Chains A and B, each alone.
Chain A
Amino acid sequence: MTRTYKFRAVSSLLLAMQNLSPDYQVHYPVPDDQGIDRFYSLADTDEAALKNKETSIYQTLLKNQPVLVPPKGFLLPETEYLLQFVREGNTADVQPKSVDSKTRVIFGIKACDLESFKLLDEVFLSEPEDPRYRQRRDQTITIAAPCASESVYCLCSKFGVDKHSPAGADVVMVPGEKNGGNSETNNAGPVYLQSITDKGEKLLEALYQSISEDENFSGEVEADPEPPHALKVAAGQEKRAPGSAKSEAEGESESEGEDKSEHEPISLEATPDRMEELFEAAIWDELAMRCLNCGICTYYCPTCHCFDIQDFYRKKEGNRYRKWDSCMFCSYSEMAAGLNPRMHKRDRVRNRFFHKLNYLPKTNFVFGCTGCGRCVKHCPVGISINTVLEKIGGERIEK
């Protein structure tokens, strides 16, 4: 039985979560000193600082863009130790490193990033299951924030991601109308939460129980308030009302044929096959020519998940660790004898887009893109998933 809760302020919600258990690692989104949105750990924020950031956090939750660094790092860390080894004479003592047992709450995750978790689950939880990923995944609770519309970089609707109703969340959260009067929270408002999964329900119930009797939190939470329409939509209980505010940008991107390019847009279903027709086409040379072969697209993509395993050691001790790899790096497919099947940039660029738009859909029935828009915004030479979709959409093959 899912219940709805209303918290007067985001900061009280976050503090309540921290109060719940010292084992909870709560992450919330807020801009850094350069204006870049990031997930910060509540453990690193003291109470006074948190209250000061009230408006900032609230405003970030309202943004129609995800944070800079995709939250895949919570499930597949940038680097993680697997083993520790110490050499003693002719033997080695090898100790596996365990995954920490903390519950991680990702507060304010967006639909596109949540969707990426589905793909990561597909990869890491199918046979053979990755036990470290499994543990982290089970210990992660997601509280999703919907987007009202798409930013100029976003293309989530192209990939079937419903930004108003983030699929796969444990809890959905919607900011409410701004509080008036109080100078501290002048530009911030309450937040409404509704659980979707059992995991989410347990969290919210425990949260409510722990603070409803606590003097410090008196007046901060209300159970079963009248939920705003946006919350019901987010929870999948209602369709979006036809009259509800739609930005122009959203209207454009959701309607067919409004592509900015001269090419006709291609349907998602037709994309994998069209890619195959174009395996030998010149478009890959054209795109690859300007590609820098850096790791921006892969590291900032919420669905990219390639990793490499390496050893770090000095003298008699060391670690074996797993780290993010990038198929754009020249050494990605380099083999022991120095052979490299993807020596040419063109092959690496082509491979990456095939992985996203052909290999994954054909073998795992998911697309390797959730339309988050990070590659659109950050590729230094303007090669994004849009570029490829537009190019393949318009290509005519002479048979």
Chain B
Amino acid sequence: MQTITSEMREIAKKLLKEGKVDAVLGYTRGEFNTQTIPHLARTEAEASALLFDRFAGKTLSKYLTEDFFLDFFLEGKTVALFIKGCDYQAFNQLLNEERIPRDRVYLIGIECPGMVHRQNLASVLGSEPEEKDLDFQEEKIVDRETGQEIDYQEVLSPFCRVCSYNFPEQPENIDALITIDPALKQPASEETGEDALKAAIKEVDKMSRAERLEFWQHYLNNCRRCFSCRNACPVCTCLKCLFDRETPMYMDRATDQLAQHQFYHLIRAFHVADRCVGCGECERVCPEQIPLHLLHQKIIQDIEALYGHFQPGIDETPSPLAQANENDPDPFEKEARS
């Protein structure tokens, strides 16, 4: 992502130099070359550390609703924000909910080629990616020691595979856009990702109720409710989350309440159903590798089947789930599943 990186740095330095913004929020290198982390640059020197690559999964817009930036905005400051398509959808939802002062944000869109799913990379390599000497080239990954070549398509996040909105498509709403080399654009999702995901979800759908329960229990029972999925989710933005409430305590941790894990994920999935932007952060951050794409993408699929395509943050609100019409489908009537 060399060109995107150099453009990012150029834009950021210019904005800071000209005093157009007080800070720039983007990404930088973490501890490993498979770890790209959020970076706030306040000087041109700090801006030189900005970069964008296949591990820049973190959605940044939600940070603007937190402590640090609340103070920042109160002080009258402005921030420039680099965002991918999914993040832009989240940003719009926050704007609609008046959580972010639009006039304090300089928005720079990035055309995203799709993020690498670290676990997929580990499976293909047969070891931890960080223990290898990998060259992340523009079009493929090369293991410098063995010469093994890996196409990014092989190791993309399951969410990115079906992404249909990889950059902010509303030029009137953004201040700048960084596009990628057409050669790096991922193939149309209908060809590669959609089918694979649909097939994976279908596998689960085909299971009997008992099998499906066992399937989800198997993965969800590893959940520790660290809440990283919720905290990383760009559209999980309630000021006081239901699961943080203690009076009443909607969800507790009494020992034999293993079902609580399941409740947490199901409830959260439904709460964000019509907001989910498919960024994949929930699955990326989970240390237990719970296959959340089979849950969240399933819900998106169901919404599409019942109400037609709805692009959160882009299509007009209220969303199909936030309104009731006479002609709404009634799944309970039609449900023929055992």
Query: Which of A's residues lie within 8 Å of B, judged by CB?
Result: 34-36, 68-69, 77-81, 151-153, 260, 285-286, 288-290, 292-296, 299-300, 310, 312, 319, 321, 323-324, 326, 329-331, 343-346, 376-378, 380-382, 384, 386-387
Contacts and interface: CB of A to CB of B under 8 A. Distances in A.
Nearest to B255: A79
Interface of B: 30-32, 35, 37-40, 58, 63, 66-68, 119, 122-123, 128, 130-131, 224-228, 230-232, 244, 246, 249, 252-255, 257, 281, 284-285, 287-289
A110 B285 CA distance: 25
A323 to B, nearest CB: 4
A382 B224 CA distance: 20
B68 A345 contact: yes
Given A294-B285, A299-B226, A329-B244, A81 B31 contact: no
A38 B257 CA distance: 22
Given A152-B130, A288-B67, A292-B228, 10 more contacts: A36-B288, A152-B32, A152-B128, A296-B226, A329-B244, A345-B68, A380-B58, A380-B284, A381-B58, A382-B37
A329 B246 CA distance: 13
Contacts of B257: 312
A68 B287 contact: yes
A260 B31 CA distance: 9
11 contacts: A260-B31, A290-B38, A294-B226, A295-B224, A295-B225, A300-B226, A310-B252, A319-B255, A376-B31, A380-B281, A380-B284
B253 A323 contact: yes
A345 B67 contact: yes
B336 to A, nearest CB: 32
B228 A294 contact: yes
A293 B254 contact: no
Most buried by B among A69, A152, A285, A387: A152
Nearest to A325: B253
Contacts of B39: 290
Contacts of A34: 119, 289
A35 B287 CA distance: 12
Contacts of A321: 253-255
A382 B35 contact: yes
A153 B130 contact: yes
A35 B126 CA distance: 10
Contacts of A80: 255
Please provide the 6 A-B residue pairs with the shortest distance between their CB atoms, ordered closest to farther: A382-B30, A294-B228, A312-B254, A295-B226, A380-B285, A382-B37
Contacts of A330: 244
A79 B123 contact: no
Contacts of B66: 345
Nearest to B230: A294
Nearest to B35: A382
A110 to B, nearest CB: 16
B130 A294 contact: no
Given A80-B255, A294-B232, A381-B37, A288 B289 contact: no
B31 A36 contact: no
A177 to B, nearest CB: 23
B254 A296 contact: no
Given A289-B40, A310-B249, A310-B252, A295 B228 contact: yes
